[in-house]
Amino acid sequence: MRTILLPLAAFALMFAAVPAQAVVTYKYVLPVNGIPLGFTWTTPDFVRGNVTAPEAGLDSCVNWPGEICDAQVFRSGVGPGDADVLEYRRHYDNNPSAINTLYNYFEHGAFTTVGVHHIRDYGVDITLTVTESAAAVPEPASWAMLITGFGLTGSMLRRRRTRDAATA
């Protein structure tokens, strides 16, 4: 009985369901004079509370020539009517101390809802696109379980072959 249960347990361990790690991407676009200014940021989870996307952590950022991105600040439910506030921040004249911040008030829950969120502010249509997708690379724990399962299955087959050869 034991010789049947151990290979089955090893086989089950190999294919144990491990939830896929999701990632959330925020794409902010502020079109000015035909130029889509903005940024893209990918994070392991939806933004809840107050979160700062560090400048170095942004996937991409497009500004006017001579401007550089700063950390982008997400504040959930703090604006008028519990609006989600996105502080679009950039430095101008390549000067780190010269910061320009645009406050964008999206509907409450925009940071945690997949879809395209529109607002009209500063005389332009601003969009925040929120997407969620599964991570493409398995987690290290998944690899460990897979290797362990193969190892246990192989050792059980080897043990069975040695035992069968001894009794023959």
Tokens 């400048």 identify what position? Answer: 55
Where residue 158 falls among pLDDT bands split at 50, 70, 90? Answer: confident
Q: Are 39 and 120 in the same domain?
A: yes
Q: Are 90 and 125 in the same domain?
A: yes
Flag whether pLDDT at 106 surpasses 90: yes
Where residue 70 falls among pLDDT bands split at 50, 70, 90? Answer: confident
Domain that holds residue 160: 2-18+138-167
Q: Tokens for 39?
A: 């940024």
Flag whether pLDDT at 118 surpasses 80: yes
* Of 147 and 138, the one with more pLDDT: 147
Where residue 135 falls among pLDDT bands split at 50, 70, 90? Answer: low
Q: What is the DSSP string of the chain?
A: -HHHHHHHHHHHHHT---PPPEEEEEEEEEEETTEEEEEEEEESS---SEEEE-GGG-SEEE--TT-EE--EEEETT-SGGG-EEEEEEEESTT-TT-EEEEEEEEPTTGGGS-EEEEEEETTEEEEEEEEEEE-SS--HHHHHHHHHHHHHHHHHHHHHHHHHHHH-
Q: Are 89 and 156 in the same domain?
A: no
Q: Are 126 and 148 in the same domain?
A: no
pLDDT on residue 55: 86
Share of the chain above pLDDT 90, in %: 34
Exposure b/e, 1-27, CB count within 10 A at least 16 = b: eeeeebbeebeebbeeeeeeeeebebb
Q: Are 155 and 110 in the same domain?
A: no
Query: How many domains does the chain fold into?
Result: 2
Where residue 148 falls among pLDDT bands split at 50, 70, 90? Answer: confident
Q: Are 90 and 122 in the same domain?
A: yes
